[in-house]
A = this chain, B = another copy of it.
Amino acid sequence: MVQPLKIGLLGLGTVGTSTAGILRSPQGRHPSLTDIEIAKVGVKTLDKRRAIEFPTGVLTTDLEGIVSDPNIDVIVELIGGLEPARSLILKAIANQKHVVTANKAVISRYGEEIYRAAEQANVYVLMEAAVGGGIPIIRPLQQTLSVNRIQTVLGIINGTTNYILTKMAAEGSDFSDVLTEAQELGYAEADPSADVDGYDAADKIAILATLAFGQQVNLEDVSCEGIRQVSAVDIQYAEQLGFEIKLLAIAQQDETGLQARVHPTLVPKDHPLASIDGVNNAILVEGDPIGQVMFYGPGAGGGATASAVVSDLMNLATMVHTSNLVNPLFKIPQHPSSRLVPTQELVTRFYARLICVDRPGVIGNLGTCFGKHDVSLESIVQIDFKNGLAEIVVVTHNVKEQKFREALAEIPQLEAIEQIEIPSVLRVLREK
């Protein structure tokens, strides 16, 4: 009979409650779950009614006490936010405790500090729940896909924005209307910024990029654009041109270096990510020799996220019972570092929507201007005509971002161009 793994749960919100729920009803689940015991649960207040009852003495408001309790083997950090989460994680590690966390914000900002501390203390820091909710992505990336040379990690990893974009596309509605509706339904927060401005996705892609490319990628290395500027008319034009607009998180490594970014992206309709709708998440990994694999499922929700948390605990329970050494496939792999590619050097495709006075020579002038800046166009189409103004949509092939921006900057000076406005500039998924 092995000693059960004793855990201290910090936080008893939706995910914490589901985590306890799984552990306390192990029938029909992996037999190893019975080797895990909830020793302490740290909460804000003891007076609240809870969905789950614990024996006397398990619930406590003394979180510091839990992370220094010598009887506890693992801290499960589910309180979220930066502090006190970061400090509690570091104290737990300093006290030789393993850590399981769903906290993407802490890992994307303080991952390096936390991994270094864990390395010194010879403990595990596991975070399957930090990205993609219940979808197994961290383990497969570290333990299976890492035999490949990873080229790209592409993800729809924020359910709120995917819900909003899916609704906008289905109904032709505007961003602000759908956001209000999503807030009413509980799919978006009262302060929606973390989701709609892309910060949540940026946290997650920083974590995935670090694991996939074996070098520390921090939140500040991720260039980030949200979906507020995506309009119903862009979604409609993209549709006509054969694209869906998705908020993609992209991490890519090639001969020029490594890049990580989040932005709304036109995705060709036959791409596997184009059909991912609603609050679901999907992560596509490209590597050599595997090609493309995709992982799809619920990116949020108490039960799904708790499934990921408990899977980390189960892995821990089986590993610490068989060895005192940390398995290297559960650490950040150490690859030679690549330079981070600055945005202006990025090679991608673009979509731009322009409005100007409709006169002869406009299309010719635009085409010449892009050509002069080495911007190769796939199409330039006058989509609409209203009140003497032409609405023109340009889609490029792969180009250097800086060249494209230079061309755009020159357009107002062109001979045939009057009253130019450029309401939308969006990126298009890069060609192979």
Q: Which residues of A contact B (CB under 8 A)?
A: 18, 21-22, 27-33, 128, 134-136, 139-140, 143-149, 214, 272, 275, 287-298, 301-304, 306-308, 310-311, 314-315, 318-319, 321-323, 325, 327-329, 333-335
Contact = CB atoms under 8 A, between A and B. Distances in A.
A33 B295 contact: no
Contact of A134 (B29, B291, B303, B327): B291
A56 B31 CA distance: 48
Nearest to A276: B272
A327 B333 contact: no
A417 B91 CA distance: 79
A8 to B, nearest CB: 19
26 contacts: A21-B289, A22-B289, A28-B149, A29-B148, A33-B147, A134-B290, A136-B144, A139-B144, A146-B311, A147-B311, A148-B307, A289-B307, A290-B297, A290-B303, A290-B304, A290-B307, A291-B297, A291-B301, A291-B303, A292-B297, A294-B294, A295-B296, A296-B296, A318-B327, A319-B327, A323-B323
A251 B22 CA distance: 23
A311 B321 CA distance: 23
A135 B289 CA distance: 12
Contacts of A327: 318-319, 322
Contacts of A334: 31
Contacts of A293: 134-136, 295-298
A210 B74 CA distance: 31
A144 B290 contact: no
Given A289-B306, A304-B289, A318-B328, A311 B149 contact: no
A23 to B, nearest CB: 9
A291 B298 contact: yes
B147 A22 contact: yes
A33 B147 CA distance: 7
Contacts of A303: 288-291
Contacts of A27: 149
A297 B307 CA distance: 23
Nearest to A319: B327
A149 B310 CA distance: 13
Nearest to A132: B293
Contacts of A302: 289
Contacts of A134: 290-291, 293
A321 B145 CA distance: 21
A30 to B, nearest CB: 4
Given A140-B140, A296-B296, A147 B291 contact: no
Contacts of A301: 291
B30 A333 contact: yes
B304 A291 contact: yes
Nearest to A134: B290
B322 A145 contact: no
Nearest to A303: B289
Contacts of A333: 30-32
B322 A144 contact: no
Given A272-B296, A293-B134, A294-B296, A29 B147 contact: yes
A214 B148 CA distance: 30
A328 B333 CA distance: 24
Chain B CB count within 10 A is highest, among A18, A304, A306, A308, for A304
B322 A325 contact: yes
A314 B298 contact: no
A315 B289 contact: no
Choose among A297, A303, A333 the residue with the greatest number of B CB atoms under 10 Å from its CB.
A297
Contacts of A148: 29, 307
A342 to B, nearest CB: 22
Contacts of A322: 322-323, 325, 327
B307 A145 contact: yes
